[in-house]
A and B are shown apart, each in its own frame.
Chain A
């Protein structure tokens, strides 16, 4: 009896987190007359809200922009970032110490301090309304470099020496010897970087004004603020939000363990 009450309360708590998402999915399929209702199954389901939001704003393009920007950033952070992390961990060269110290120091600077100077820099570079503005300032990431560097430091020296005796260059050692060992930290960095880029909204709101270049969260924000009030506008807004939420929930359903572990591991280490 006590056990049943326990599970009932737990289910109630879980419903607090899941029901709003289900209600959003249902409402996005409802005609205006049903929008205020609590039901999770529309009486007369309609795709009209989806048709409207798709016709009113370039969500297909925004989906592409977001995927392109987040993928490019993740690629750069993993491929070029591990090259830098490898050098910082395993190669001795002039300036290494300074660069290591700088990497840690940069993490202590709050993003709010650099936001406006970065924005003026982008304007001066003439990068407003360009993919460069969305990608280049995130092409490297000090947190990622620290995580990878920390891992690369633990790879046994003998593996490196053997690879060098085989005549391998540093890049080949990194990508064929170190990378296969570093799947876990690479996955962590990859998930965190992709999610950060995919969810970012303040930066695009500063540097992009052209609707065709907006990322998904940005277009969603602009669309929702310009949408007006009333049941139809609300249902259309939620339909647009579904475009943003469904791919993430799908990925999360399959990879939730990795999502949770990568976020929590960096949190507890931090």
Chain B
């Protein structure tokens, strides 16, 4: 037993040390940073609640919050509808099912940076693929990334394209776990395909929908490389994301205290939004 305890400590100590340095210390230090003014060059000075006060009145921060909500308002429904529809199609008797699934999943495995650069080419106003296709149909060029009203929806569509394959696989697994008898029972009652879907399939897929909403929401709050490459946060700061703003405060303005305050605010907002979503989806079941 003595030997077992010794090996146990030996094997787990590197991990424990790692957690201490790269998880516990950063979590604790994030609270300290909130009270500091620090450019990483000169000595930090204590700033009390100045950072928090500044955050409350910071229009850029609130713009970033609104931008993220706009992103989620478009991205979440789009993601759910497209993923459900394609999963439903893949769940039917089908030739080459694994080929279709692999095609939809391909963007998931590609780096976000690469996908974003590809889409900067698809969205390009003059030489882009999408405007090229629209021109064939006789439609004028759309300023996908330079019009303040269109830029964020464009990013939301791109993010859906990038991630939807992952959610298709999740929904597909959910659909395959629904017993046939569930459908047959209600079809015997004379329900239409849509009624079966609405009252049997959809409620049974609630765990998957909750997962899609949770993961997509977390992803939405992590939006960074997309606006960083495509728009730089413009036009008119309409695509400034919270992580991009945090990155700029740390990297470009050297305001560590304020950047950490943004990080803390972001973590709290994510927690609140996820709890609210769980409530709403939980209630949808009872209705």
**Residues in A lying within 8 Å of B, measured CB to CB:** 6-7, 10, 13-14, 16-18, 20-21, 23-24, 27, 35-38, 80-81, 83-84, 86-88, 91-96, 99, 102-103, 106, 109-121, 123, 136-137, 139-140, 142, 145, 169-171, 195, 198-199, 201-202, 205-206, 216-218, 220-221, 224-225, 230-231, 234, 237-238, 240-241, 244-245, 248-249, 252, 256-257, 259-260, 263-264, 267-268, 270
B100 adjacent to chain A (CB < 8 Å): yes
Q: Give, as a whole number of angstroms, the nearest-CB distance from B68 to chain A.
A: 12
Give the most central of B94, B106, B124, B270: most A CB within 10 Å: B106
The 4 A-B residue pairs with the shortest CB-CB distance in the complex, in nearest-first order? A93-B8, A91-B8, A84-B15, A117-B26
Interface centre among A95, A221, A252 (most CB of B within 10 A): A221
List residues of chain B with CB under 8 Å of any chain A CB: 1, 4-9, 11-12, 14-16, 18-19, 21-27, 29-30, 33, 38, 40, 86, 89, 94-95, 98, 100-114, 117-122, 124, 126-129, 132-133, 136, 161, 165-166, 169-170, 173, 208, 211, 215, 218, 221-222, 224-225, 228-229, 242-243, 246-247, 250-251, 256, 259-260, 263-264, 266-267, 270-271
Query: In the assembly, what is the distance between CA of A83 and CA of B109, in Å?
Result: 28
Which B residues touch A264, using CB under 8 A?
Answer: 166, 169-170, 173
Contact B114 A244 (CB under 8 A): yes
- Cα distance A211–B119 in the bound complex, in angstroms: 24
Main secondary structure of the interface of B (DSSP, over half): helix
Task: Tell me if A's interface is mostly helix, strand, loop or mixed.
Answer: helix
Identify B11's interface contact among A18, A91, A140, CB under 8 A: A91
Which residue from B129, B165, B225, B250 sits with its C-beta under 8 Å from A17? Answer: B165
A124 to B176, CA, bound (A): 52
Residue pair B40, A123 in contact (C-beta under 8 Å): yes
Interface contact A96-B110, CB-CB below 8 Å: no
Q: Given contacts A81-B15, A91-B4, are A114 and B169 in contact (CB under 8 A)?
A: no
Task: Report whether A220 and B117 are in contact in the complex, using a CB–CB cutoff of 8 Å.
Answer: yes
Q: Are A84 and B11 in contact (CB under 8 A)?
A: yes
Q: A94-B5, A96-B8 are in contact. Are A16 and B161 (CB under 8 A)?
A: yes
Is A117 within 8 A of B161, CB to CB? no
Q: How far is the CB of B224 from chain A (nearest CB, A)?
A: 5
A91 to B38, CA, bound (A): 44
Compute how far the CA of A171 lies from the CA of B113 in the bound complex, rounded to whole angstroms: 39
